[in-house]
Structure 1
Amino acid sequence: MEEIINGRMYDTETAQNKGTWANTWNDNDYSQVIETLYQKKNGEYFLECIGGPNSTYGDYCRGQNWGRTFLKPISSDDAIQWAKSKLSTDEYEALLDKISEGSELKTMSVQLTTDDWNKLHQLAKDQKISVSELISKAIEKEYLK
């Protein structure tokens, strides 16, 4: 599933699944809720929210309740809280290690040429890491020796 939210693309096919929670695994239960936490290559998190017609995610339209599925961007802090309350201890600790390693994360904006942008993304893809991780590694290697 893919969706553009506030001008940003979120895609469950390209993001990494970090864990799934459900209030029940009975697909015949109309109150079923399934949430899956994903992390994009750039480090952003989002939830895929699936709900039956009688769930908290259900939608009322034309005199009838309907189930629905949607994507919901969340912050790193919200991802930690979600994982803490919804995932097993092992899944939570694995996720927390990846989020919490090192210093607090800060957001910045940069302008790059299209060529540099493409090179940066290709390097990150080749190394199977996010662009943020690639930039951090380059800074550490070159300037924080």
Structure 2
Amino acid sequence: MKKRINGLRYDTDTAKELARYSSPLPYTETGYYNEWLYKKRTGEYFLYGEGNPGSKWAEKVPYDNAYIAGADIQPLTFEQAQDWFEKANNADPELATDEVYDQEFGTLSNPNEAKAEKVQVKLYLNKLAKRKLERLAQKQGKTQSDIVESLIMSE
């Protein structure tokens, strides 16, 4: 499914699926639904859900008081994604694994990882920020990468 929300594009075909949750109801129940947690290449999380007419994913029939089975995409903050994952993991650790949880939401203070091989990233800065970064690197005798890394690690 593809959807644009607040100018951002969400696509289940191109995002990485992290976990899945199926409601405990039988498939034939009106409230039955499935949800999948995705992460976009740019880091945003979103939920894709589909469900029967009595589920939270149901769609209202226009000009009627009835609902039909539906599907939709819902953007999530980091905290919302973490909360959703914890509930899904508690319900079924095979569909929402501890390994994925640790990778996405676990602690970032692993000293071995901090010393690990560096990876290349691409950042866009305005011209003033770029000049300030260059100046900081010159004054401190460091690379621009070291300046950015030290700012991030001091958080």
How high is the TM-score relative to the length of structure 2? Answer: 0.61
2:43 aligned partner = 43
Secondary structure in 1 aligned to 2:124? coil
| Deviation for aligned residue 1:28 | 2.7
Residue in structure 2 matching 1:86, options 81, 85, 88: 88
Q: Where in structure 2 are the equivalents of 1:24-63 lying within 5 Å?
A: 24=24, 26-61=26-61, 62-63=64-65
Structure 1 pair 68–102 and aligned structure 2 pair: CA distance change class (3 A): same
One-letter identity of the residue aligned with 1:94: E
How high is the TM-score relative to the length of structure 1? Answer: 0.65
Between the aligned partners of 1:7 and 1:48, the Cα distance in structure 2 is 18
Q: Where in structure 2 are the equivalents of 1:1-145 lying within 5 Å?
A: 1-24=1-24, 26-61=26-61, 62-87=64-89, 88-89=92-93, 91-99=96-104, 100-102=106-108, 110-111=124-125, 139=145
| Deviation for aligned residue 1:13 | 0.4
Between the aligned partners of 2:18 and 2:149, the Cα distance in structure 1 is 32
List runs of 5+ in structure 1 lacking aligned partners: 104-108, 113-137
Structure 1 pair 16–25 and aligned structure 2 pair: CA distance change class (3 A): farther
Secondary structure in 2 aligned to 1:80? helix
RMSD between aligned residues: 3.0
Higher relative contact order (CA 8 A, sep 6+): 1
* Rg comparison, structure with higher value: 2
Residue 84 of structure 1 contacts residue 92 of structure 1 at CA under 8 Å; is this kept in 2?
no
Between the aligned partners of 2:149 and 2:8, the Cα distance in structure 1 is 31
Between the aligned partners of 2:35 and 2:88, the Cα distance in structure 1 is 9
Between the aligned partners of 1:19 and 1:143, the Cα distance in structure 2 is 30
Alpha-carbon displacement from aligned partner over 1:33-83 (angstroms, at most 9, x marks no partner): 111000111111000011210112223322422111000010111111101
List runs of 5+ in structure 2 lacking aligned partners: 110-122, 127-143, 151-155
Structure 1 segments of 4+ aligned residues over 4 angstroms from their partners = none
